[in-house]
């Protein structure tokens, strides 16, 4: 498939960034191993939003030890369908890179 760098409309989580942050807050569970060892970190996840808004090809670009990777992948895969990206009025597949930050409070 072709990935276009120049997209007219980027894909969007339903409700936009604030809704996505809320979703991640509710759905990401801090891995117990990481809690015990007081590990924090940012994981970079890459995935594709298909023409129909489905999320596919979810993988970790850069991970952190402590069980974060599996948790981040699980959360992304459980997301609702996105609004697809558009180019020239047609939906196109778009690759998204998303940092997910795990922080202890």
For the chain, residues with pLDDT lower than 70 are 1-5
**pTM for the structure as a whole:** 0.87
- Burial of residue 84 (CB within 10 Å: 0-12, 13-18, 19+) is buried
**pLDDT for res 66:** 78
Q: E strand or H helix at 88, and its extent?
A: none
Question: Which tens digits make up the pLDDT trace of 75-101?
Answer: 999 999 999 999 999 999 999 999 999
**pLDDT for res 1:** 52
């Amino acid at each position: 498939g072709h990935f276009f760098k120049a997209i007219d409309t980027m894909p969007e989580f339903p409700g936009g960034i604030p809704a996505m942050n809320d979703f991640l807050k509710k759905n990401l569970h801090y891995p117990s191993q990481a809690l015990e060892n007081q590990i924090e970190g940012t994981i970079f996840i890459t995935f594709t939003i298909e023409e129909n808004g489905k999320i596919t090809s979810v993988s970790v670009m850069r991970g952190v030890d402590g069980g974060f990777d599996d948790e981040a992948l699980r959360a992304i895969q459980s997301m609702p369908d996105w609004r697809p990206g558009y180019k020239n009025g047609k939906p196109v597949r778009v690759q998204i890179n998303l940092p997910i930050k795990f922080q202890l409070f």
